[in-house]
Structure 1
Amino acid sequence: MMQGNRLVSGSRVAIVGGGIAGAGLAASLLFNGRARGLTLDVRVYSGGTSERTAPPVVLTPECRSRLAALGCRIPTEWRSHELRGVEVIAEGRREVLATAAGGLWVVDGWPHGEGGLAQVRDVLATAASAQGARFVERHVERVERQAPAPDAPASVRGAGPLVVRAQGSGERYHAVALAAGAGPLMGDAFFKGFRPAPTVAAVQARLRHASPRLELAPLARLWIAPLPTVDGLFLLPAAGSVYALAFGPAVTPADLCQALMMAARDGLVEEGFELAALETTRLPYGPGRTLVAPGQVVVGPAAFGHPLQVGLSETLASCSRAAVALLDGGMEAAVLERRYVREGLGELMEDAAAGARAVTWLRRAGKRAPEAFVAARGRRTSGAVFGGGVLGMSTPTPMALLGAARWAGLREMFGSWLRTTMEPVPTVVPELEPDLYYVVDDDPDAREALTALLESTGAKVVAFADELALFCAVARRPPTAILLDVVLHWVDGLRLAEGLKQHPLTRNTRVVVMSGLNRPHVRQRALDAGAEAFLPKPVDPERLLRILTGRVPDAPVAEAAAPSSESVHDVGSDRYAS
């Protein structure tokens, strides 16, 4: 089934990954093969984990053109929500980058249907299936290069030199493509020396409004460096929710929650939202180094990309160029490297490198970062004939943004030497509300008992079953104290306590940590995080009230919280204990 180094009619091609890149490559291979009079056997291994947050997707004009060229029918309802621009924010400075009317479409059906990414994938998969692609719900473990035995049947000898191992089965192919996204990849299990795109940690979430009415702003937002551990926060209005994405080398779910608390404070998201989904993910952060082997290519975010890349144009472009390269001479590594990487992806990979470096300089630029985007829109750069701009717009290009961000970063660094270093403080910090207590515990009995105990003193108490709701409330009504369980659903309670005590909005709020894990190392971690006290469960009510109010009620409160024979450890007893 081979003619020299080229695929011919009957050649078998496997694609590992059934997302946008996998379905796009299948459609492109079959479309280009048919244009050359070839009939290919294309199978897509689409097994694997799916993202719970069901991200939306932004379709640029180029995205829509590429989808149409692959035979995708774009539903008319996809243009029901259009973005008028992207607002860039940094240290109180804001700049709006306007887009042309009809330029950016936000596609999304969540929570009543699929997220936009899944919707576009389904349209692409339908187009690929109509041309003959077959989707297999199996997870691939490795790809082996294994020549058939000389005495093997003719059907085996002609099936190809590459064996795809998937859940105990093995099938032979002439070519294999990896389209598994930017998450955990196969490494050398794909081919020896495979070096994919570097990645950066990210956390994504869905914000759903408590009321049935949600006013969707026509602006997406990018907040540069809202926290030391967060390089950027995207807020993308979707059909009935807001999609949030925070990225940075060490970003955690607690960091995203902290950033959303600040966004609620500054009016970037509506009051009364709830976080309906949250999970960690990975984003591409530059170009890969070794992306081809004889008969094997890598496409999509596994090959290149950067966090400011909004839309699917670059992913779809890599699919079309990989298809052409495989058809032209994909069985020879040198030909594949030249046709696919150097000639096909050269400009896109340069853009990926520039976009990743621009993120670093935007953080250094501080309050000048929004101005850098505006300045970059007016700059002309050579190259990038096929590459797009950042944030889903045609301009600025990643190269132009890198130059403007570097200049803004240098100016900010020089300026910082001439002024006193001061920690940025929010323009408006709500005052602590006296006698208001927040209780965060996933145990309903514990929440009810602690609420009854505190209300018996005349205090106002708000109890939360989910710690994420705490961030929504504390941004508007900082309490006198927060009673925080260690074991929570989304975020480690000790990490949450540390974040609360470090942030200007909540650093003066008293935090008391509670846990059934009465271990010295847990207690010490709580105190190191800034907690005023560590209380083992079940909580001793008299000790708790003494810590919070400095007094104990005359009447017994045995029904409010079960007393403990173990001592309560507060700051005075723990910090100086031997």
Structure 2
Amino acid sequence: MNGGRLSSGSRVAIIGGGIAGVGMAASLLFNARARGCAVDVRVYDSGDPSGIAPPAVLTPECRSRLAALGCRIPLEWRAHELRGVEILSHGQREVLPSAPGGLWVVDGWPQGQGGVALVREVLAGAATAQGARFIQRRVERVENQPSAPDAPAAVRKNGPLVVRAQGSGERFHAVALATGAGPSLGDSFFPGFQPAPTVAAVQARLRQASPRAAPLARLWLSPLPTVDGLWLLPGAHSVYALAFGPAVTPADLCQALMMAARDGLVEEGFELAALETTRLPYGPGRSLVAPGQLAVGAVALGHPLQLGLTETLASCSRAAVALLDAGLEESALERRYVRDGLAEMLEDAAAGARSIPWLRRAGRRAPQAFLTARSRGSSGGMGGGGVLGLSAPTPLSLLSTARWAGVRETMASWVRTTVEPLPTTIPSMEPDLYYIVDDDPDQREAMTQLLEATGARVVAFADELALFCAVARRPPTAILLDVVLHWVDGLRLCEGLKQHPLTRDTRVVVMSGLNRPHVRQRALEAGAEAFLPKPVNPERLLRQLLGMVPATPPASATKSQEALSEESGRYAS
């Protein structure tokens, strides 16, 4: 150490092996070498599977920052370039064009890794080449324990911060937290640490039937009451979907995708290949530094309208400079890193998060609010620049126009009769068409044979997302819906169907092996016209759907009844 600053031989721990973690390692080593300082950097990478690896969107600034850190940009990364971002809200849409060569979508899924994983791999290679070492351990806490005066010299020179990871402890002079917007260490990083607030989100990967990449990313604002926004980011062989909102659920994302397929925003016949819940940063953190400690990346700041890695990489470079130039005292780090380095980015994060509720209120005026804000130009600052990965509009200008659009729309709604938006063409219900949704093939086959024996047409689904898309194109007479499904809860699915104008009049019969009063009550509250316990009684099923039961069921119906009965042992449990 040199006057409280990092000097040759100083040890720095980075908690988190994602983009922010490896970006921080590369930035710190690059800036230290430029100052003639040899720093020992250890990256604690828990190695936990990240689930869905999203694609990466590289803006010109992203690519410049990566190149400056010694990353080689593969030529294939520019294979898919976005022409712009389309904003949709309540039937209105506008396109914000990107500059030529502006937005590259990097993605290898499903044949290879997701784009974020690919960029992380390149950054990790650059950090390793400069001397970073990766430790495959999960960090539990960080302790500030200055060594005793009588401690051995080898202990005293290794710094006062102890990183506890899976039973081991190592000393460091500085520690950076780069764990992303998911669960962070909280007070286990340092007492009083307040990371960026987060909002619930659900992400999915859609496999397309035809290998073609759309030229536009899409942001659909408030497609559902529980969804603030739906991102649709195209790749060469897939679409990445991300829905966010305080109460968003996987069922909400599935319903929004049904609507997107109906409106031509995604290709019909897509397959839902992966789905999981996640968290997004939703504003700035409030307490980001302690003596020798700081937070970088999404754990420190961010908002859902960011498209790209610019803000994450910028926070890494500013954290590295602060540690090397300002010293490790809390006041010095606060001044150099937070007030001087992140002030503009923290302000942008706050403005971006505050724009979301105003854009919801703006309704059909929201797309125009983006255009109006864009016409005001970019800030010209050194931060991430504009929202959506573009140079403009900036978060502050968007907040201003979104607020005004929200006020105008609210005032207009006082004198306007609310009319629920519907598509221009609404398919008519097909009589004698029934949909069965059950993840058990024997149950699907048995009920299909029973209903077809009465002359009805039956389509059986193992995937509830396929049901959503089919209902939008061909509304049936009724839907037989199991409670336990692959992606979402059947009761939540029933509720979503009954709330949407395209499907609210469709009859839904819920089935479940959990024949409990509370399950029955939840099904009826969700809008089901009936609850049938499993094993389903064929006569009761036919009476419920058709209002009558044949005096002598056909042979196929008898066979179906036997098949349904054979399932009783398994489904009654």
Q: TM-score, normalised by structure 2?
A: 0.96
- Which of 467, 491, 503 is the equivalent residue of 1:470? 467
Q: 1:383 to 1:335 in 2, by over 3 A?
A: farther
| Partner SS, residue 202 of structure 1 | strand
Matches within 5 A, 1:185-224: 185-209=184-208, 211=209, 213-224=210-221
Match for residue 73 of structure 2? 74
- Which of 311, 315, 331 is the equivalent residue of 2:328? 331
Q: Aligned partners of 2:559 and 2:185: how far apart in 1?
A: 56
Q: CA deviation at 1:385?
A: 4.0
Q: Are the aligned partners of 2:430 and 2:477 in contact in 1 as well (CA < 8 Å)?
A: yes
Q: CA deviation at 1:100?
A: 1.5
| Partner SS, residue 420 of structure 1 | coil
Deviations 1:205-225 (A, max 9, x none): 01112x3x2332101111010
Q: Aligned partners of 2:49 and 2:428: how far apart in 1?
A: 42
Runs of 4+ in 1 over 6 A off after TM superposition: none
Q: Aligned partners of 1:256 and 1:75: how far apart in 2?
A: 33
Matches within 5 A, 1:325-404: 325-380=322-377, 384-404=381-401
Q: CA deviation at 1:439?
A: 1.0
Deviations 1:296-316 (A, max 9, x none): 000001000100000111110
Q: Percent of pairs identical after alignment? A: 77
Match for residue 57 of structure 1? 56
Match for residue 12 of structure 1? 11
Matches within 5 A, 1:152-167: 152-167=151-166
Q: Are the aligned partners of 2:450 and 2:538 in contact in 1 as well (CA < 8 Å)?
A: yes
Q: Aligned partners of 2:314 and 2:220: how far apart in 1?
A: 28
Q: CA deviation at 1:239?
A: 2.2
Q: Are the aligned partners of 2:206 and 2:271 in contact in 1 as well (CA < 8 Å)?
A: yes
Q: Aligned partners of 1:128 and 1:381: how far apart in 2?
A: 32
2:261 is the alignment partner of 1:295: no
Q: CA deviation at 1:382?
A: 5.7
Q: Aligned partners of 2:534 and 2:159: how far apart in 1?
A: 63
Amino acid at match of 1:231: D
Amino acid at match of 2:360: R
Q: CA deviation at 1:151?
A: 3.8
| Partner SS, residue 484 of structure 1 | strand
Q: TM-score, normalised by structure 1?
A: 0.95
Match for residue 407 of structure 1? 404
- 5+ residue gaps, structure 2: 569-573
Q: Are the aligned partners of 2:378 and 2:391 in contact in 1 as well (CA < 8 Å)?
A: no
Q: CA deviation at 1:424?
A: 2.6
Q: Are the aligned partners of 2:211 and 2:236 in contact in 1 as well (CA < 8 Å)?
A: no
The CA RMSD measured in Å over matched residues stands at 1.5
Q: Aligned partners of 1:186 and 1:397: how far apart in 2?
A: 31
Aligned length: 563
Deviations 1:360-413 (A, max 9, x none): 111000000000011111115767443310111001111111111111111101
Match for residue 576 of structure 1? none
Q: Aligned partners of 1:14 and 1:350: how far apart in 2?
A: 28
Deviations 1:234-277 (A, max 9, x none): 11101210000101111000000110000000000111001100
2:125 is the alignment partner of 1:126: yes
Match for residue 550 of structure 1? 547
Match for residue 559 of structure 1? 559
Deviations 1:76-133 (A, max 9, x none): 0000000001111111111011112211000000000000000000000000000000
| Partner SS, residue 106 of structure 1 | strand
Match for residue 479 of structure 2? 482
Amino acid at match of 1:541: P
Match for residue 134 of structure 2? 135
Amino acid at match of 1:470: L
| Partner SS, residue 424 of structure 1 | coil
Q: Are the aligned partners of 1:347 and 1:383 in contact in 2 as well (CA < 8 Å)?
A: no
| Partner SS, residue 355 of structure 1 | helix
| Partner SS, residue 522 of structure 1 | helix
Match for residue 573 of structure 1? none
Q: Are the aligned partners of 1:449 and 1:560 in contact in 2 as well (CA < 8 Å)?
A: yes
| Partner SS, residue 58 of structure 1 | strand
Structure 1 window deviating more from structure 2 (386-395 vs 103-112): it is: 386-395
Match for residue 532 of structure 2? 535
2:523 is the alignment partner of 1:526: yes
Matches within 5 A, 1:105-124: 105-124=104-123
2:295 is the alignment partner of 1:286: no
